[in-house]
Structure 1
Amino acid sequence: MPAADPDPTAGRDRPRLLGAADVRQMAAALDLRPTKQRGQNFVIDANTVRRIVRDSRITGDDVVVEVGPGLGSLTLGLLEVARRVVALELDEVLAAALPATIAERAPAYVDAVEVVHADAMRVASVPGPAPTALVANLPYNVSVPVLLHLLALLPSLEHGLVMVQAEVADRLAAPPGSKTYGVPSAKAAWYADVRRAGAIGRNVFWPAPNVDSGLVAWTRREPPATTASREQVFAVVDAAFAQRRKTLRATLAGLAGSAPAAEAAIVRAGVDPRARGEVLGITEFARIAEGLQEEPG
């Protein structure tokens, strides 16, 4: 029987996770007043952190990107399992304070984490080995653009779990034809298979948000085989949902130059011009993007 893989945490003291009192004390020491502008709602429940880490299915082989680590609640939990964590933090005060928190509460793991003061929506690279997982409590006001930017920027990402507003979680995981299917659903499907992975209560945050939260899990897959670029396909997606209740023939007229040209391109893609964008999957959008690039005849 083959030997089990060695536990990367063996022989090391486990990180001490943060509780509600810890979070409030740390915030007071930093004179920190959480802002809605930056989506700052800090997890204060260690069991929720353990659940996120468990459901993310990360292992000791994973290099994890975390967005918005804040005071370090989730970072400490990730360090217990992952090989390495790169934490992207926009807030200068929080970015400066996090290394000291790691040194105090997880001294055996200080070499396994790198804190980067950066805007995750604009970051151009991530230092160190190629990351394999994205696990984060994403700032709710920018969760979709941050997720799509990192999926595009880091093709080495294989899987992940993010916490977002419940309504956004529904949209990201929605299949074609459902009421919540839209631009986020279609664009996320370009990169990955996406699924809902559970709900999170409001009382595990400080301050408690005014919305419910949800977990979204994803696994990387190859995008549709197409001669169209991602930008061209996403332009079709944006146009198709700009006027949700109109037919593709009408919504894509601007991209094609006219409604008849749009209809011809849609027909070339094998799609009904009278259909609406809400019933198409990312593969159909890719075929339409190809059709728009082809000369008729």
Structure 2
Amino acid sequence: MNLQPDPSLPLLGAADVRRLAAELDVRPTKTLGQNFVIDGNTIRRIVAAASLTEDETVLEVGPGLGSLTLGLLDAAQSVVAVEIDAKLAQRLPRTIAELRPEKAASLHVVTADALKVTELPILPTALVANLPYNVAVPVVLHLLEKFPSLRHGLVMVQDEVADRLAARPGNKIYGVPSVKAAWYAEVRKAGVIGMNVFWPAPKISSGLVEFVRREPPESRASRAQVFAVIDAAFAQRRKTLRAALADWAGSGAEAERLIVAAGVDPSARGEVLDVKAFASIADARLNSLEP
């Protein structure tokens, strides 16, 4: 059963966020990509769009002062919050205890860099987060790789990053993030969030990206082997596949042979291939190495 946010429950507003920041002497930094949500209706919108069920454990990256954390605790069984800033991580349980005392035991805070996390106290089933703009893509890909228990999620990222993650083959912004995300999940853009709901206000709108886990393409090649083909194909995206994969394959002629064996046009460019086609090229190389 999907729970809808209760509008009667208090969330952090602009005055609350600034008060907590002043108490902790926290000044949002571009280095950590900190932009705190100060609008309760935006929090409710995100939580509703995440389609959480009451038995889920949500992974939140960069909870900051707890704006979104409160909304997530209202809709899920528990929240695992990964926060790199030690002061924010230490304050978060107190904030929850003050505003949601009945949910205090349902919060698990991990003080760590999300890009380095490989273990969590509880396996999460959903990822819902306002991600720091500067590391959004690597964080999403890292967590999808390390935590196969993540079945679905909704992340808020810079709007242009949202467009890239959700782009389809043939789109001019389709690239490495698009293909690698598609290895793990069906990805779509789920909305746009304006600038005035954050403190400090960013200079660009944010986008909501929804993903639903699926099986990767059927392939004998490993994820790393397929990703190596993707990286090579987009290293110089205007090159044809034959030229772009020459170093990866050992020569242009060998690249062409493998691409043709995979059923792909060697004169095409990487931007028109879906993730299955990249997996097929990686398979063709494995086949060529067999005695």
2:41 to 26, 39, 47: 47
Q: Distance in 2 between matches of 1:35 and 1:55?
A: 28
Report the CA distance between 1:294 and its aligned residue: 2.2
Deviations 1:181-237 (A, max 9, x none): 000000000000000000000000000011210000010000000000000000000
User: Which structure 2 segments of 5+ residues have no match?
Assistant: none
Give 2:11's aligned residue.
17
TM-score by length of 2: 0.96
Report the CA distance between 1:170 and its aligned residue: 0.2
Give 1:97's aligned residue.
91
Give 1:133's aligned residue.
126
Equivalenced residues, count: 290
Q: Distance in 1 between matches of 2:139 and 2:74?
A: 25
Residue 186, structure 1, aligned to residue 179, structure 2: yes
Q: Is the 8 A contact 2:2 2:52 kept in 1?
A: no
Residue 28, structure 1, aligned to residue 22, structure 2: yes
Q: Distance in 2 between matches of 1:18 and 1:203?
A: 15
Give 1:68's aligned residue.
62
Report the CA distance between 1:61 and its aligned residue: 1.5
Residue 158, structure 1, aligned to residue 151, structure 2: yes
| Identity, % of aligned positions | 64
Q: SS state of the match for residue 222, structure 1?
A: coil
Q: SS state of the match for residue 193, structure 1?
A: strand
Q: Is the 8 A contact 2:2 2:51 kept in 1?
A: no
TM-score by length of 1: 0.94
Residue 263, structure 1, aligned to residue 256, structure 2: yes
Q: Distance in 2 between matches of 1:14 and 1:21?
A: 18
Q: SS state of the match for residue 215, structure 1?
A: strand
Q: Distance in 2 between matches of 1:218 and 1:6?
A: 17
Report the CA distance between 1:147 and its aligned residue: 0.2
Report the CA distance between 1:126 and its aligned residue: 1.2
- Equivalence map 1:1-297=2 (5 Å): 15-128=9-122, 130-295=123-288
Q: Is the 8 A contact 2:2 2:53 kept in 1?
A: no
Report the CA distance between 1:14 and its aligned residue: 7.0
Q: Distance in 2 between matches of 1:38 and 1:251?
A: 34
Q: Is the 8 A contact 1:62 1:83 kept in 2?
A: yes
Specify whether residues 29 and 294 from structure 1 end up closer, same or farther in structure 2 by C-alpha distance, changes over 3 A only.
same
Q: Is the 8 A contact 1:266 1:273 kept in 2?
A: yes
Q: Is the 8 A contact 1:15 1:76 kept in 2?
A: no
Q: SS state of the match for residue 288, structure 2?
A: coil
Q: Is the 8 A contact 1:148 1:188 kept in 2?
A: yes
Q: Distance in 2 between matches of 1:111 and 1:98?
A: 12
Q: Distance in 1 between matches of 2:186 and 2:17?
A: 34
Q: SS state of the match for residue 80, structure 1?
A: helix
Deviations 1:147-181 (A, max 9, x none): 00000001011110000000000000000000110
Q: Is the 8 A contact 1:14 1:80 kept in 2?
A: no
Report the CA distance between 1:16 and its aligned residue: 2.3
Report the CA distance between 1:280 and its aligned residue: 0.1
- When the two chains are superposed, the root-mean-square deviation of aligned CA atoms in Å is 1.9
Q: Distance in 1 between matches of 2:135 and 2:22?
A: 26
